[in-house]
Amino acid sequence: MLKKLLQSVALGLLTALIILLVVPSLRSKILPEFSQSSPDNIDAVQLSFNAAVRRAAPAVVNIYSRKYTENDRTKLSTQGLGSGVIVSKKGYIITNYHVIANADQIVVALQDGRVAAAQLVGTDRRTDIAILRIQMNDLPVIPLNPNYTPEVGDVVLAIGNPYNLGQTTTFGIISAVGRSSINVGSRQDFIQTDAAINKGNSGGALVNTRGELVGINTASFQQGTDLETYGISFAIPYSLANKIMQKIIADGRVIRGYIGIDGQDINTLTSRLAGSDHLGGIVVLGVDPNSPAALAGFKAHDIILKIDGHKISGRQSVMDTVTNLRPGTTINVEIMRGGKKMTLPVTVAEDPRG
């Protein structure tokens, strides 16, 4: 019985296939999405990021830094160019510090043709961030999404003014996150992308396919090395850039907490030796002799486990926690020393490195 049923099904499928081959007009009716005869299918599969660019691009500005000439202090000459991103209706613009370094005047050009002299609110060389402000009405603001987290593989667009050609958009993906600094001597947390970022793109916007700000374009690998490389560019995550901006607006500069230790993450292998409960902790490698940590009694080889009762998750988390604290704040740090747990109170100081 089953054999006869299968034979009937097979015969029916074969008959249908023969009919489709003999009568081509039936193919477009039965399988319209696969029909090669319909030109509409080309439009159906068209991929475009035009909507994202139209949302983000008006808020990406051209920045020209000008400097007085040596022989005539009444004349200004343009010494550099870059890009910036309007992130507030109040006129705040995020750009790179190196874009406006040593400038006597900063000029901002919007995509709608308006031009304005910008006020320098403050800078932070360690993160290569500068905050500008312009006084204008009806400013375009780039879309912001605090809930977006950059992930490897996300499609991104870099918008800026490369080589002063005018606003240009390049396309790529996020290649890596959490990269350390390449060409500046500071702590960083770069987003790596293969979207082209050239001279003049610095300070511009890296956005996702919804036009939301992902990061501030800051450097290309070629700028920091002598290597001939392609497809390796970097951006400062917006979350970090925004944090720096808020500090600069509040205090005019970035005030960082400091306790004066250097440490190394406990990896999976090390945790097997020290105990699985220590995974995520850090081993203290050195202590600044004049630092709050030294005064609190920290020693090399101590294992830091918790800060104010919260378990840490590596060296970066400790650094982020401490640098975000106001000087004068006292924290309780739980450590393991010689197999015994203890808690050391530490009063945070201001980072002397700025």
| DSSP assignments along 282-321, one per residue | EEEEEE-TTSHHHHHT--TT-EEEEETTEEP-SHHHHHHH
Q: Is 8 a catalytic residue?
A: no
Nearest to 262 by CA among 278, 283, 292: 283
Residue from 124, 128, 189, 302 carrying the catalytic annotation: 128
Nearest to 147 by CA among 88, 193, 208: 208
Residue from 65, 83, 181, 202 carrying the catalytic annotation: 202
Question: Are the beta carbons of 333 and 311 closer than 8 angstroms?
Answer: no
Give the whole-angstrom CA distance, residue 267 versus residue 64: 46
Give the whole-angstrom CA distance, residue 233 versus residue 218: 8
| DSSP assignments along 173-238, one per residue | EEEEEEEPPSSSSS---EEEE-S---TTTTT-EEE-TTS-EEEEEEEEHHHHSS----S-EEEEEH
Give the whole-angstrom CA distance, residue 148 versus residue 239: 10
Q: Is 98 a catalytic residue?
A: yes
Q: Is 128 a catalytic residue?
A: yes
Pull the structure tokens for residue 21: 């081959």
Give the whole-angstrom CA distance, residue 46 versus residue 178: 33
Residue from 83, 98, 124, 189 carrying the catalytic annotation: 98
Give the whole-angstrom CA distance, residue 270 versus residue 273: 5
Cβ-proximal residues to 46 (8 Å cutoff; 6+ apart), any chain:
none
Active-site residue set: 98, 128, 202
